Amino acid sequence: MEWLQRPPELAVRLSWVTSDPCGEDAEDIAELTPPERRTLELHRAIAARIQQDPDGVRRQALANLNRRREADTQGNGLHYIAAWATLLAGPPARLIDLMVSTDQAARDLRQSSPFAGVLSDEERLDILRRWATCE
C-alpha cells in the first residue's frame, strides 16, 4: 500500500526532471561521463513516471527483474537484482533518491536498470536526442 501514497516531497525532488540537460543543472553532473549523463537523464524521466504511476512502474520493474533472475544462470548479476528488488520493495522516495544520485554506487546500479519498457521508444529517443546536443 505504501506505493499508493505519493508524498508531496516527490514533486519537489522531481522538479528538475523536465529541465534543460545543457542548462544550469548540467553543472551538477559535470563529473559524469556522457553515457552516465544519458543514463541519469533516462532515470530522471523514469522517476517522474514513478510519481505518475508508481504501481505500474513497480510491476514492470519487478517483472523485468524476475526475467533477469531466471536468465542469469551463473549468478553474475544477482547483487544488482537483489539491490533493485530491495529498493522497489521500499518507499518510492528512497528509490527515486538513488535513481537520480550521482554517486558511484548509483551510477553502477543504473547500468543494470530494471526499468526497460517504462518509457516508450519515442520518449527514450527524445531524451537521447536532447542529450546529444550537449556533448
Domain residue extents for the chain: 34-132
What per-residue confidence (pLDDT) applies to 3?
A: 41
CA 79-4-87 angle, 5° bins: 10
Q: Where are the alpha helices (DSSP H) in 4-120?
A: 9-13, 34-52, 54-71, 78-89, 92-99, 104-110
Q: What confidence category does residue 123 fall into, taking pLDDT thresholds of 50, 70 and 90?
A: very high
Q: Does 14 or 85 have the greater pLDDT score? A: 85
Please state the pTM of the whole predicted model: 0.80
Could you identify the residue written with the cell 530491495?
86
Decide if pLDDT at 125 tops 80.
Answer: yes
What per-residue confidence (pLDDT) applies to 32?
A: 85
Distance CA 42, CA 113 (A): 10
Render pLDDT for 77-96 as a digit per residue (tens, 0 to 9).
Answer: 999 999 999 999 999 999 99
Terminal Cα-to-Cα distance of the chain (whole angstroms): 42
